[in-house]
Amino acid sequence: MNPIRPLDPVLIDQIAAGEVVERPASVVKELVENALDAGAERIEVRLEEGGIRRIEVRDDGCGIPADQLELAVRSHATSKLRTAEDLTQVATLGFRGEALASIAAVSRFEILSRAEGESAAARLEVRFGCPGPVREASGPRGTRVRVEDLFAELPARRKFLRRPATELAHGAAWVERLALVHRGVGFRLEHGDRVLLEVPPDAGREERWARILGRGLAERLVEIRDRRPGLVLEARVGPPESARRNASRVHLFLNGRWVRDPRLLRAVREGVREFVPAGMLPALVLELAVPPERIDVNVHPQKTEVRFRDERLVIGAVITALRRGLSGSEWSARGVGSIGRVEEAAPTATRRPAPATGSAGAPWERPLPAAVGPPAGPTADHPAPSQPELPLPPPAGGPGAFLSVARTFLLREVPGGLEILDQHALHERINLEELRREIRSGAVVAQPLLVPAVVEVDRVELDLLLARAEDFRRLGVELEALGPGSIAVRSVPARLTRLDPEGLVRDLLEIAGEQREAGPEALQEEVLHRMACRGAVMAGDHLDAEALADLLRRGADLPQDRTCAHGRPVRVFLSVADLERAFHRR
């Protein structure tokens, strides 16, 4: 073996550059982000041969003082971050001080900049990591960076470059992404002598998006907004025809930063699932704003991955907002007329119906009649249909008044229309609420198993489960190690008689594995959700009269009975007007 030697600093930068600079598009992204951070009002990007030959980005931002130019291209030098504390409050697109150094390490690089208030510009060239002197130059206020022959001296990297057309597509995508959300900034993208994109700084959102997404699409976007403590959400979703098999038309922004978070994307899939062909994703721009201290963007050098402090809140909000917004959109109607539209509550909704918005309101805006009625027993007065907030009369023949369809949906007449329940969603919601109630008053009531269920696990899994045994015990699940390769389930929550212990252990393992960092409450919440679902009757399960009566009785006093634990509707209400429309009576 050779002796150990420290690496040459240039080689260090070239190696590190691999994490930031993957291809010309990464250079485009970093340079445009720098221009945005510098407060530019106009940004021009010029590419030759898809950026392989040359990338040039000019801006009219604050510029860099001559005496700092050398520092700007040094690794881990930045004007955007000082203390570790700042890292919890990142408000700029850059903060790692790596981009210019990385780019300059793997290209023929030149930066020309004139800072605000300086009489002359300064210029610095770096050839594959070796800087020249800083020279005085002339130029307007702002910065111009030129990057030529990317990876030319690094054959190992160069051979991963694709055809110019492919590299151009990637680079252009970054300009478009950034131009979508940075309103007030003008963008121009040129390839050779062709202008590919031109957005004036004062172009409003409509005009901006029309130029970037295409006018036809930009005019047909459905707008969705949601605002809750710690989160502002705005989404614009294209029609089903805009859907693609991949996420190429999906743009997710977090505090102005384009991100590629797999969990967010999954939430988007979930939120749009009912409105596009299976497995596809529509054109969509989702902008989230959260307080910077609630996210961590320092996950990866390319800064496109993030961690959320309240992931469940964000993910839940995305799913619900998209679903709710789209269910009110013109293309949500499936089947006949408006009949396919789905009534869904805001997550904060209670059983008290929202104030009526006038008779012309869409179905999802109108108040719901009431909760599931008690199953049987004589009651005196039937409330008038005009007072839907009063308790419902019991269905005439007790629970039998429900019509079961496809062993999944329970239909019945309610004042003003037709109510459809999803038996699984209802049971899941009941389970969740009842378990929560038990936790609030101490712990979930456990049911010891006469014969403990033994499940095979490996050493690592065993440790994972035992580390959380106390948290699980509060949920009525008692686990006990039976030697190195198996674990016994001694009790399960008393009300979840359908729970299969083996499946339960698999669920607990999965959750404990995913939520290693989670505190007991977050972990328990996740387990509760899972158990509520697993312990519920499924769509397709036959419910006999007794089981149905039990379900409806327990459903009668839910604090939240409009959506299941996953945010899917428990109940859909079709008004008489909806039915009339479906039959062309209106």
Q: Tell me which of ligand ADP, Mg ion, none is bound by residue 308, counting a contact when its beta carbon lies within the kind-specific cut-off of 5 to 8 angstroms.
A: none
Which two tokens mark 531?
């158990």
DSSP-based helix, strand, coil % in the chain, nearest 5: 35, 20, 40
Q: Which position's Cβ is nearest ligand ADP?
A: 94
- Backbone angle region of 198, left / alpha / beta, with phi > 0 → left and psi within -120 to 50 → alpha: beta
CB-side exposure of 550: number of CA atoms within 13 Å?
Answer: 10
Q: Tell me which of ligand ADP, Mg ion, none is bound by residue 80, counting a contact when its beta carbon lies within the kind-specific cut-off of 5 to 8 angstroms.
A: ligand ADP
* CB of 45 closer than 8 Å to CB of 33: no
**Which is nearest to 573 in space by CA: 432, 392, 380?**
392
**Which is nearest to 175 in space by CA: 158, 210, 192, 199?**
199
* Closer residue to Mg ion, CB minimum distance, 50 or 94: 94
| Residues within window 38-97 making contact with Mg ion, judged by CB under 5 A | 94
- Contacts of residue 195, defined as CB under 8 A and 6 or more positions apart, other chains included, come to 188, 189
Distance separating alpha carbons of residues 241 and 214, to the nearest angstrom: 14
Please report which helix (H) or strand (E) contains residue 127, including its range. strand 121-127
Nearest distance in Å: CB 186, Mg ion? 20
Count of residues in contact with Mg ion, rule CB under 5 A? 3
Distance separating alpha carbons of residues 34 and 99, to the nearest angstrom: 9
Q: Which residue from 99, 527, 532, 548 is in contact with Mg ion, where contact means CB under 5 A?
A: 99
Q: Which residue from 26, 34, 242, 327 is in contact with ligand ADP, where contact means CB under 6 A?
A: 34
* CB of 205 closer than 8 Å to CB of 59: no
| Residues within window 296-315 making contact with Mg ion, judged by CB under 5 A | none
By CB under 6 A, tell whether 26 contacts ligand ADP: no
* Closer residue to ligand ADP, CB minimum distance, 26 or 143: 143
By CB under 6 A, tell whether 326 contacts ligand ADP: no
Nearest distance in Å: CB 99, ligand ADP? 3
> Phi/psi of residue 453, each to 5°?
-85, 130
* Closer residue to ligand ADP, CB minimum distance, 12 or 582: 12
| Residues within window 42-71 making contact with ligand ADP, judged by CB under 6 A | 59, 61-64
Nearest distance in Å: CB 78, ligand ADP? 3
| Residues within window 355-394 making contact with ligand ADP, judged by CB under 6 A | none
Q: Give me the 85-124 binding string for ligand ADP, x by CB under 6 A, dash otherwise.
A: ---------xxxxxxxx-----------------------
Which of the ranges 30-38, 262-270, 371-379, 401-409 carries the binding residues for ligand ADP, by CB under 6 A? 30-38
Q: Burial level of 204, CB count in 10 A (0-12/13-18/19+)?
A: exposed
By CB under 6 A, tell whether 129 contacts ligand ADP: no
| Residues within window 138-167 making contact with ligand ADP, judged by CB under 6 A | 143
Nearest distance in Å: CB 82, ligand ADP? 11
Q: Tell me which of Mg ion, ligand ADP, none is bound by residue 353, counting a contact when its beta carbon lies within the kind-specific cut-off of 5 to 8 angstroms.
A: none
* CB of 148 closer than 8 Å to CB of 53: yes
Which of the ranges 28-36, 108-116, 313-321, 504-512 carries the binding residues for Mg ion, by CB under 5 A? 28-36
* Closer residue to Mg ion, CB minimum distance, 99 or 150: 99
**Tokens 């998209």, located at residue:** 322
Nearest distance in Å: CB 73, ligand ADP? 7
CB neighbours (10 Å) of residue 308? 19
Count of residues in contact with ligand ADP, rule CB under 6 A? 22
Are β-strands 186-191 and 42-48 bridged in parallel, bridged antiparallel, or unpaired?
parallel
* Closer residue to ligand ADP, CB minimum distance, 67 or 241: 67
Distance separating alpha carbons of residues 390 and 401, to the nearest angstrom: 19
Distance separating alpha carbons of residues 462 and 480, to the nearest angstrom: 10
Give helix 423-440 / helix 520-534 axis angle, nearest 10°: 140
Q: Tell me which of Mg ion, ligand ADP, none is bound by residue 59, counting a contact when its beta carbon lies within the kind-specific cut-off of 5 to 8 angstroms.
A: ligand ADP
By CB under 6 A, tell whether 35 contacts ligand ADP: yes
* Closer residue to ligand ADP, CB minimum distance, 87 or 547: 87
Q: What is the DSSP string of 257-293?
A: EEE--HHHHHHHHHHHGGGSSTT-B--EEEEEE--GG
Q: What residues make contact with Mg ion under the rule CB under 5 A?
A: 34, 94, 99
Q: What residues make contact with ligand ADP under the rule CB under 6 A?
A: 30, 34-35, 38, 59, 61-64, 72, 78-80, 94-101, 143
